[in-house]
Structure 1
Amino acid sequence: MKTIVICSGGLDSVSLAHRVAAERELVGLLSFDYGQRHRKELDSAAACAKRLGVPHEVIDIREIGRHLTGSALTDDVDVPDGHYAEETMKATVVPNRNAIMLAIAFGVAAARKADAVATAVHGGDHFIYPDCRPGFINAFQAMQDHALEGYADVTLHAPYVNVSKADIVADGAKHGTPFAETWSCYKGGARHCGRCGTCVERREAFHLAGVADPTDYEDPDFWVAATGAFAAEEVR
């Protein structure tokens, strides 16, 4: 099945690219420049495509992103530290981001006669990001079935939508993902900060999966307090 992977260059999407390369016919990686704070993830996506021997295209939607204001990922807003399941992490929401990217990716797939578009949304995203939840994935597929009816039959492949980040780490390890060559940190410094939501989630996932974490963090132990505080809140 000819599949295009939406690849940001983060741990999840690079793991997905390696999985698709092993299980399907990977025909290319598609990334989006929506005006995010840094391009480190896009560089990681390019490296992944080169490693897997497939084309990599970056679609420039900065003009669209310029209007999706208010997010810590695009504006001059401080990136919050802590666990993803904290209310403060809503500052990292970019409105309708996945819906916009998927709609473009489905158009590309239809034009190029691909059979599927793969996205790495996962269970850990559900609390914060509505366009990462199973209901959205199912509804988007139904919408695209109508949008492309009679022209193309493209399926949305989201194998991680109901699993945890730790499950993705385990799956990535199974498929030989070079985790050190992925980038997650929202802050885009020389090293992963270890404190933002995605760094905390990344560090925790390696721990829960029992896989060695090769990531170089500025604050490698912050995740312990962040995840512990969240667990304490859950118990109350």
Structure 2
Amino acid sequence: MTLSASPTAADRTTVVIYSGGMDSYTVLHRALREGLDVHALSFDYGQRHARELEVAARVCRELNVPHQVVDIRAIHGLIDNSALTDASRALPEGDYGEDNLTATVVPNRNMILLALAIAKAVNIGAGRVDYGAHGGDHVLYPDCRPEFVEAMNTVAGIANFEAVEIHAPYLRASKAQILADGLAMGLDFADTWTCYRGEALACGRCGSCRERLAAFAANGAVDPLGYCQRPAGES
């Protein structure tokens, strides 16, 4: 009889790229429910506001999850050709689509963040990096496609002497399916921020808000966040 190897410390430890949004919030809790030793990693890359980072910090404090916010604002001039990093550009409103997606693409963002998260994983002896790429983003953001994740997984396996797995559990799931998983776990999505604007209330008009509200509607649930304007038909 062959005995299976006992899990190593690396097997039990993961670095979760945690923005404070819905997807990464669900990924974080999913990793915790696996019984993993979770280290949350957030990034300040000069985005338009810090609401998500504030939410992420509060959630990690409440969960007693180690949380590091990495200041990479020095690269802002390399990635400022986006409405999410250039406050002088108008934020597109309406549903996500190819006609307005270009304005919200941050150049090479996920490759940059994954590279830093892999370094963190190697540094602390973690065997995995989790991030929240999902199926609904494939047409919008090239660095959320399965081909990208598969290629990064290959690189993460050979870039260091210690291989790291890139784990994207919702890679082929929709936003509504991610939300359904989170609701089944009993998660409170008031502890997330999605809106592209960092105001007191979510705007309800940007593509990110509209996609979020559509996910709640698809699940027959009410979004607990406050909105200054919800699309017609949203309660």
> Structure 2 length normalisation: TM-score?
0.91
Does 2:229 align with 1:219?
Answer: yes
Distance of 2:53 and 2:37 partners within structure 1: 18
Distance of 1:28 and 1:222 partners within structure 2: 40
Distance of 1:49 and 1:142 partners within structure 2: 30
**Alignment partner for residue 55 of structure 2, among 20, 44, 55?**
44
**Alignment partner for residue 215 of structure 2, among 191, 205, 215?**
205
The answer to which of 184-193 and 80-89 deviates more is 80-89
Q: Which residue of 2 aligns with 1:31?
A: 42
**Alignment partner for residue 124 of structure 1, among 136, 149, 152?**
136
Q: Which residue of 2 aligns with 1:66?
A: 77
Q: Alignment partner of 1:66: what SS?
A: helix
Q: Alignment partner of 1:206: what SS?
A: helix
Q: Alignment partner of 1:88: what SS?
A: coil
Q: Alignment partner of 2:38: what SS?
A: strand
Q: Alignment partner of 1:5: what SS?
A: strand
Distance of 2:56 and 2:37 partners within structure 1: 14
CA shift, 1:53, in A, is: 1.2
Instruction: Give the letter aligned to residue 204 of structure 2.
Output: G
% identical equivalent positions: 48
CA shift, 1:71, in A, is: 0.3
Q: Which residue of 2 aligns with 1:147?
A: 159
**Offset from partner CA, 1:204-228 (integer Å, 9 cap, x none):** 001112223112111112587xxxx
Stretches of structure 1 that go unaligned for 5 or more consecutive residues are 225-236
- Moved >4 Å (runs of 4+): none
**Offset from partner CA, 1:149-171 (integer Å, 9 cap, x none):** xx212111100110000011111
Stretches of structure 2 that go unaligned for 5 or more consecutive residues are 1-11
CA shift, 1:105, in A, is: 0.2
> Structure 1 length normalisation: TM-score?
0.90
Distance of 2:157 and 2:34 partners within structure 1: 24
Q: Alignment partner of 2:156: what SS?
A: helix
Distance of 2:96 and 2:175 partners within structure 1: 12
Instruction: Give the letter aligned to residue 156 of structure 2.
Output: Q
**Alignment partner for residue 185 of structure 1, among 195, 214, 235?**
195
Q: How many residues align?
A: 222
Question: In the TM superposition, what are the counterparts of 1:71-86 in structure 2 within 5 Å?
Answer: 71-75=82-86, 76-86=88-98
CA shift, 1:16, in A, is: 1.1
Q: Greater helix share, 1 or 2? A: 1
CA shift, 1:96, in A, is: 0.3
C-alpha contact (below 8 Å) 2:15/2:130 kept by paired residues = yes
**Offset from partner CA, 1:91-126 (integer Å, 9 cap, x none):** 000000000000000011011001111001101111
Distance 1:189 1:170, change over 3 A: same
